A = this chain, B = another copy of it.
């Protein structure tokens, strides 16, 4: 059966140019070309094999990760890959490793918070991996509340050094990736104490391990924090614990771009604006949003292909059974996730633009859009990661029993993905920040302050508070302005209602705490509006390729209308739409599903994932699921012997009624 494409019939049904869609998905022809080339490179290199990952014990697994990381770096050097290519390579290797933190947090932290000299000193070492760094912020006792961190960095003017110390058990650094076993250095966040005063949390570059023999330096206790969710998954990462017993570092290892400690121990603010820090946050969160679209699209790709292969029920007089993807319940669970993957892709692209825009403004000392950009990225990080985590698990369920097997790829994808809901800001804590920003924006409306960017619609609050949807027939739900207005009206009404309820409290802070569950819902409504509006904006672009734009249009409305259905209570109870209009939306949604159906396999092909990257027997490109599932089973270590280890000690005595005297 080798070489047969079991999904060719599905592929032939597609009503659009898949190659052009691949380019839309990748972002540009160039990006596609790089991604495609590097994807194949990784897939064809046996050193990057990963199908055994879920059965390896922790130590083997970890050693294997070290090997792959070294091999990847070797290839990057040998092939003289560009930064973009190297980052795609790490993406396709698809295994969390210390290098993620080195490139993704350590280097950016030095870039963002180090002075020019510090950058000149440390970055070249980091770029060549002569040192390996991680990012040690979270402690056993404090994660979300960074201001509550307990590690201290006390300046000693006698020796011109900082003394880094862990005064309590809860001050132990806890969670930093790459810390446990690999990193030689770390950016460590600690309370800066000098001149008898506590100046709060600052970053310091601290060497942790000897560059000669890798042993922890004196005063440093460091190790791995132990097993995490799932098999394989994030256990390739050495998230670590770290304690300092009065460890001394030179003064110039404090990251001093924004504030300094002088030789005399005076604390000084530089004239570099503090807001710069937010720029880095916008950057990191933007990458998280784009990762969300990758993880979700991957799960959707697996579930879609398998749903086209899987048949169950509906055979009459011996014919083939129904493909489960033809069941409307399957469609109503799967297609919104497909649409979400595309939606998150486009909003991620837009965030990249936003980051550039913010950076340019910062350089021009224009801080006006920063709070809005910050709230927007925080909210989108929260929205997309929550939806992706839930979506991966839904895709697994959509695969029935077989989705529960590790070789479906979905369990590991879920386990490795979900911490994105927690790191870089717990998703609920982030939504509360968004809500705070929204309340501020609403409260400033009366004073005539014009809301900017993604909150601009609140400037039309008066209209949006009383407008009525004009939908009269199902097709009206395909008019961009109609959809947009419904989402704007909903977001406005929820925000304004919260603001009104808040104003009844004499103490605003108390009110905020009391109403926080409602506030979170208002924040979600705001963020969903952003995603919908950016998708609609995307459709305004010139998009070449036969049928490509039409498909994206369909997906855009699937995304919007499924949200409308899911949050119907918001829309109807605030009077944005009537029950009749809601049922027309539902009708339209059903008809959109029928339009997606013939294109659905091609729509996931457009992600251009290799079978290596997907890592799923159910999601194989050729749809040849059953023989491969069957073969895979026999590889389990339990099948090494026909009669299992333990038979003589435990099973046989049970069957033979000889347990009573057995020593177990």
Contacts and interface: CB of A to CB of B under 8 A. Distances in A.
Interface of A: 47, 54-55, 57-59, 62-63, 66-67, 69-71, 73-74, 77-78, 128-132, 138, 140-145, 148, 169-170, 172, 174-175, 180-182, 184, 211, 213-216, 223-231, 234-235, 238, 241, 311-313, 315, 321, 327-333, 393, 397, 400-401, 403-407, 411, 415, 418-419, 421-423, 426-428, 432, 513-518, 520, 565, 567-575, 579, 582-583, 586, 590, 626-627, 629-630, 632-640, 642-647, 649-657, 659-660, 662, 664
Given A70-B662, A329-B520, 8 more contacts: A55-B227, A148-B321, A223-B639, A329-B516, A400-B422, A401-B422, A568-B570, A572-B579
Copies in the complex: 2
Contact of A214 (B397, B575, B652): B652
6 contacts: A144-B312, A215-B642, A215-B643, A328-B513, A332-B517, A568-B569
B638 A74 contact: no
Nearest to A142: B312
Given A144-B400, A660-B78, A180 B638 contact: yes
A11 B359 CA distance: 52
A67 B634 CA distance: 24
A226 B520 contact: no
A47 B664 contact: yes
B214 A643 contact: yes
Nearest to A583: B573
A603 to B, nearest CB: 20
Contacts of A662: 70, 74
A515 B422 CA distance: 37
A310 to B, nearest CB: 9
Best-buried of A58, A69, A401, A432 by chain B (most CB within 10 Å): A401
Nearest to A183: B651
Contacts of A404: 228-229, 234, 418-419, 422
Given A574-B579, A637-B59, A630 B422 contact: no
Contacts of A138: 401
A141 B629 CA distance: 11
The A interface is mostly helix, strand or loop, or mixed, namely: helix
B644 A182 contact: yes
Given A569-B572, A645-B59, A633 B312 contact: no
Contacts of A572: 568-569, 572-573, 579
A259 B144 CA distance: 64
B664 A630 contact: no
B630 A241 contact: yes
Contacts of A569: 565, 567-572, 582
Best-buried of A234, A419, A651 by chain B (most CB within 10 Å): A651
Contacts of A329: 428, 432, 516-517, 520
B644 A405 contact: no
A406 B330 CA distance: 32
Nearest to A435: B329
A419 B518 CA distance: 33
B312 A655 contact: no
Contacts of A664: 47, 67, 70-71, 74
Nearest to A519: B329
Given A67-B649, A644-B63, A653-B70, A517 B328 contact: yes
Contact of A169 (B411, B630, B638): B630
Contacts of A411: 228-230, 415
Contact of A224 (B570, B579, B636): B636
Given A516-B327, A636-B226, A654-B129, A148 B231 contact: no
Contact of A223 (B174, B234, B516, B634): B634
Contacts of A227: 54-55, 231, 405-407, 636
Nearest to A636: B226
B143 A312 contact: yes
Contacts of A638: 58-59, 62, 180-181, 223-224, 238
Contacts of A643: 213-215
Given A401-B419, A633-B225, A321 B145 contact: yes
Best-buried of A332, A575, A664 by chain B (most CB within 10 Å): A664
Contacts of A517: 328-329, 331-332, 590
A518 B181 CA distance: 52
A169 B627 contact: yes
A69 B650 contact: yes
Contacts of A131: 655
B226 A405 contact: yes
A313 B143 CA distance: 10
A70 B659 contact: yes
Nearest to A579: B573
Contacts of A333: 428
